[in-house]
């Protein structure tokens, strides 16, 4: 009989704006290992719920055979509130090292964007980039059997050089059938302070947006998960813990219409009785499709629109036009679904003239909220990074761990704010105080969901 082993998985994310996000990746890992490797006991620690000192004490008491630390965000991607999360991550990994001699593994979305940097900075023994469930199981098996862990998708090993370990790497296999069980203590916290839980229905992103790191994190290969299992997980979460609002965290929800229809019909057939939201693209979104999603519980759409100007949309690598944006907005309005548009002002190809056109065009979008980000965060392994180096915006040897932004030279924030305010529409800039209203509704009045619909204007 295989002896009992223990692994501790730590969520290092402490970023809570606009609200704290349930560490879903760790719940997927725990659920997968419980079935794939039942001789492993999986312990969890969330740094939103416990201090670094409590983490260190927990490790000393439990003495796991391995500690895995998930690095979700690198920074807030907000040029108006700059700074990165590296010091906080180092505080956590140093506490792990003080408390235990067990191997240190790091992973998560932040690691997947900056794998070589974080391997060196943290001194981790191993790192896993991208989808981690099966790779983690293979790593544990190799170490338990005394083998060198070679040939594992996404694996980084301490001492490996960037030249020997090209990145992003090809991946041989992806998982398409996953289930997830949520942690009751975590659910209680995030349900109260976020007003929603999150779950995946698909992974990967086939699009080529100039700035986006999703293809690096999740890969370009689109794979849908098992619709019946997703609904099983949703129903179990609702029945056991009373959660009835979920956000589907897919990079873009409406990529796979046939699968989405299957999922929506499964939610309807089984009378799930939940409300849900997701990230959508405006491309090809029609009334009939939205009506089906609405019957399954869709209440909120967050459009990754980025601009209301066609020339800018083309420069950003988007596959739609402002006419598509208008059509999708009207379809959502007709289907009685709340919708917001998220924008990037001043990115590659932008000028103050194109920003002006975008702001003017916002007048044609009814009953929405606009969330503009200022400047375009430059991430490694993106087309934007290549362009930024070629045009001298960043140096070729810049690690980009300190946030760097592409911002058009003539950008004038106060002029942009004034123009946006004059439209009479609901423009909410990243440093505005409207989040205080949503926090009050979420915590004091127990309202659930994103809650930005309370800010919208005709």
The pLDDT tens digits for 187-211 are 999 999 999 999 999 999 999 999 9
What is the model's pLDDT at position 160? 74
Q: What share of the chain in percent tops pLDDT 70? A: 98
Q: What share of the chain in percent tops pLDDT 90? A: 88
Three-class SS of 394-438 = CCCCCCCCCCCEECCCCCCHHHHHHHHHHCCCEECCCCCCCHHHH
What is the model's pLDDT at position 169? 82
Q: What is the pLDDT of residues 434-446, one digit of tens each?
A: 667 788 889 888 9
Position 163 confidence tier, pLDDT thresholds 50, 70, 90 = very low
What is the model's pLDDT at position 3? 62
Q: Report the relative pairing of strands 426-427 and 338-345 from DSSP bridges.
A: unpaired
Q: What is the pLDDT of residues 271-286, one digit of tens each?
A: 999 999 999 999 999 8
- CB-based contacts of 366: which residues, under 8 Å, 6+ apart? 329, 330, 333, 458
User: Torsions phi, psi of 305, nearest 5?
Assistant: -80, -45
Give Cα 370 to chain centroid, integer Å. 19
What is the model's pLDDT at position 257? 94
Angle of CA points 37, 42, 48, to nearest 5°? 145
**How large is the average pLDDT for residues 391-414?**
96
117 within 8 A of 401, measured Cβ to Cβ: yes
What is the model's pLDDT at position 1? 47
What is the model's pLDDT at position 44? 98
Residues 11 and 29: their CA atoms lie apart, in Å, by 12
Across the chain, mean pLDDT equals 95
Q: What is the pLDDT of residues 243-263, one digit of tens each?
A: 999 999 999 999 999 999 999
**DSSP structural state of residue 457:** B
**How large is the average pLDDT for residues 157-176?**
77
Model confidence, pTM: 0.95
**How large is the average pLDDT for residues 173-177?**
91
Question: 3-class DSSP state for residue 136?
Answer: helix
pLDDT tops 80 at residue 423 = yes
What is the model's pLDDT at position 294? 98
pLDDT tops 80 at residue 433 = no
Which of these, 148, 147, 140, lies nearest to 65 by C-alpha position?
A: 140
**How large is the average pLDDT for residues 98-117?**
97
**How large is the average pLDDT for residues 22-44?**
97
Q: Is 17 exposed, middle or buried (0-12, 13-18, 19+ CB in 10 A)?
A: exposed
Q: What is the pLDDT of residues 357-398, one digit of tens each?
A: 999 999 999 999 999 999 999 999 999 999 999 999 999 999
* Domains located in the chain, CATH noted: 5-157 (3.40.50.280), 184-455 (3.20.20.70)
Question: 3-class DSSP state for residue 202?
Answer: strand
**How large is the average pLDDT for residues 15-26?**
93
What is the model's pLDDT at position 159? 85
Identify the residue whose tokens are 């794979």: 223
4 within 8 A of 41, measured Cβ to Cβ: yes
Q: Is 202 exposed, middle or buried (0-12, 13-18, 19+ CB in 10 A)?
A: buried
**How large is the average pLDDT for residues 316-341?**
97
Position 419 confidence tier, pLDDT thresholds 50, 70, 90 = very high
- CB-based contacts of 265: which residues, under 8 Å, 6+ apart? 292, 296
């Amino acid at each position: 009989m295989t002896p009992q082993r223990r692994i501790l998985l730590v969520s290092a994310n402490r970023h809570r704006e606009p609200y704290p996000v349930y560490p879903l990746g760790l719940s997927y890992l725990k659920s997968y290992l419980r079935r794939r490797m039942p001789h492993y006991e999986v312990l969890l620690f969330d740094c939103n719920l416990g201090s670094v000192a409590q983490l260190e004490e927990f490790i000393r008491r439990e003495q796991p055979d391995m500690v895995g630390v998930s690095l979700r965000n690198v920074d807030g991607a907000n040029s108006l509130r700059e700074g990165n999360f590296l010091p906080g991550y180092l505080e956590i990994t140093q506490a792990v090292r003080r408390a235990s001699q067990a191997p240190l593994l790091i992973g998560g979305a932040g690691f997947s964007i900056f794998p070589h940097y974080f391997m060196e900075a943290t001194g981790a023994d191993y790192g896993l980039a991208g989808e981690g469930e099966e790779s983690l199981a293979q790593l544990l098996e190799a170490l338990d059997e005394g083998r060198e862990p070679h040939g594992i998708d996404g694996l980084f090993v301490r001492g490996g050089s960037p030249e020997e370990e090209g990145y992003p790497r090809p991946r041989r296999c992806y998982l398409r059938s996953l289930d997830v069980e949520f942690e009751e203590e975590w659910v209680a916290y995030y349900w109260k302070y976020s007003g929603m839980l999150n779950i995946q229905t698909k992974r990967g992103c086939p699009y080529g947006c100039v700035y986006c790191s999703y293809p690096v994190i999740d890969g370009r290969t689109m794979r849908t998960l098992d619709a019946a299992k997703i609904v099983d997980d949703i129903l179990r979460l609702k029945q056991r813990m009373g959660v009835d609002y979920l956000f589907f965290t897919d990079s873009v929800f409406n990529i796979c219409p046939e699968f989405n229809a299957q999922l929506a019909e499964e939610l309807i057939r089984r009378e799930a009785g939940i409300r849900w939201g997701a990230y959508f693209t405006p491309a090809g979104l029609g009334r009939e499709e939205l009506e089906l999603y609405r019957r399954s519980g869709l209440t909120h759409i967050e459009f990754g629109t980025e601009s209301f100007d066609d020339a800018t949309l083309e420069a950003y690598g988007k596959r739609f036009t402002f006419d598509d944006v208008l059509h999708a907005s009207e379809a959502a309005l007709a289907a009685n679904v709340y919708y917001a548009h998220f924008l990037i002002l001043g990115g590659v190809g932008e000028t103050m003239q194109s920003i002006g056109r975008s702001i003017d065009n916002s007048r044609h979008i009814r009953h929405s909220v606009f969330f503009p980000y200022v400047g375009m965060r430059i991430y490694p392994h993106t087309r934007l990074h290549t362009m930024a180096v070629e045009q001298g915006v960043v140096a070729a040897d810049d690690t980009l761990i300190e946030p760097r932004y592409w911002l058009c030279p003539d950008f004038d924030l106060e002029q942009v704010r004034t123009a946006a305010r004059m439209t009479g529409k609901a423009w909410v800039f990243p440093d505005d105080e409207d989040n205080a209203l949503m926090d009050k509704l979420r915590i004091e009045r127990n309202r659930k969901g994103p809650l930005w619909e309370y800010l919208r204007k005709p």
